[in-house]
Amino acid sequence: MVWTSAGSTSTFGDEEIFLLLVELSPTHQGRGIGSRLIQQLLDRAALEGKPLAINVLEVNRRAYALYRRLGFTEARRIVDGPAVKIRMVAST
């Protein structure tokens, strides 16, 4: 597992790299920091020949839009009680 100041990644088996968490203070959002962090993980995933996956809550439209801009696509929706998580994957 690799920890960064903004989140963590973990590899599940040999199939994919899963981005577990990305959190930035609202005062640091909108500056490209999250995009740069995720792009570094996308580059790593490409070097390893693995897709990068992430879950995002359906209500988090801003994060969803960011992931779409970075090349993620919806893989499936997961109902978890009242919340709906969207599984997104960026293939290399």
Ordered structural domains, the chain, with CATH: 2-90 (3.40.630.30)
pLDDT of 13 reads 56
Q: Which two tokens stand for residue 59?
A: 């209500």
Please state, in angstroms and rounded to a whole number, the distance separating the CA atoms of residues 43 and 27: 26
Each residue's pLDDT tens digit, 4-20: 444 444 444 568 889 98
Q: What is the pTM of this model?
A: 0.79
For the chain, report the end-to-end CA distance as a whole number of angstroms: 20
